[in-house]
Copies of this chain bind each other. A is one copy, B any other.
Amino acid sequence: MTPHKPSLDNIVAILARTPASLSALLEGLPQALVTVTEGGNTWSPYDVIGHLIYGERVNWIPRARHILAGETRPFDPFDRTAQFTQSQGKELSELLKTFEMLRRENLATLAGMNLTDTDFFRVGHHPELGEVTLGQLLATWAVHDLDHLGQIARTLAKAHTSAVGPWGRFLSILKDRQHEPASNGAGSNKA
């Protein structure tokens, strides 16, 4: 499939909005909901925010720079469980603020790259996926946000599975990702 140039405006519009959307959803939520999971090794809303912070620090912008620098070695692999040590002892509200700040800085960095149409087709090497383009990396950054927003909605919903009684039949979110392997923390969302 020939990569096409994604709309940077659309991608940035999503990236700029997810931190405030997540803060509005999670700030001040009762602790029982902040730490609830879908069972097994799945992640709580608290874990997800730590994961998003770690991605702002070591994944998206470093990989964009790696591509723009013309590096031929693969990206460094991304540690998908770093948040379990990095978030330790921190309050959710502190994590939400950190995520908003890092995202704002990273979007300023992205704007400062003054990407040309050609840049979107520059190629990097993903350790598992092989050749990927800068445009695909940026689109993935936004979809990765949305995947985790959806995960948080699903996790909070599933906390109420027994409470909804017969209505469970009508609420599809309660049945989403029921067959995920329990060992896969992020609901198989990796990047």
Interface pair A33/B14, CB less than 8 Å apart? yes
Complex contacts, A169 vs chain B, CB 8 Å: 129
Most buried by B among A7, A20, A32, A164: A164
Interface residues contributed by chain A, number (CB under 8 Å): 68
What's the minimum C-beta distance from A155 to chain B, rounded to whole angstroms? 9
The answer to whether A144 has its CB under 8 Å from any CB of chain B is yes
Interface pair A136/B163, CB less than 8 Å apart? yes
Query: What CA separation (Å) do A156 and B149 show in the bound complex?
Result: 11
The answer to whether A82 has its CB under 8 Å from any CB of chain B is no
Query: What CA separation (Å) do A51 and B7 show in the bound complex?
Result: 28
Complex contacts, A142 vs chain B, CB 8 Å: 160
Most buried by B among A10, A130, A169, A190: A10
Complex contacts, A156 vs chain B, CB 8 Å: 14, 146
Complex contacts, A32 vs chain B, CB 8 Å: 7, 10
Interface pair B10/A30, CB less than 8 Å apart? yes
Specify which of B144, B147, B149 is in contact with A149 (CB 8 Å cutoff). Answer: B149
Complex contacts, A154 vs chain B, CB 8 Å: 146, 150
Interface pair B25/A162, CB less than 8 Å apart? no
Interface pair A174/B10, CB less than 8 Å apart? no
Complex contacts, A160 vs chain B, CB 8 Å: 6, 10-11, 139, 142-143
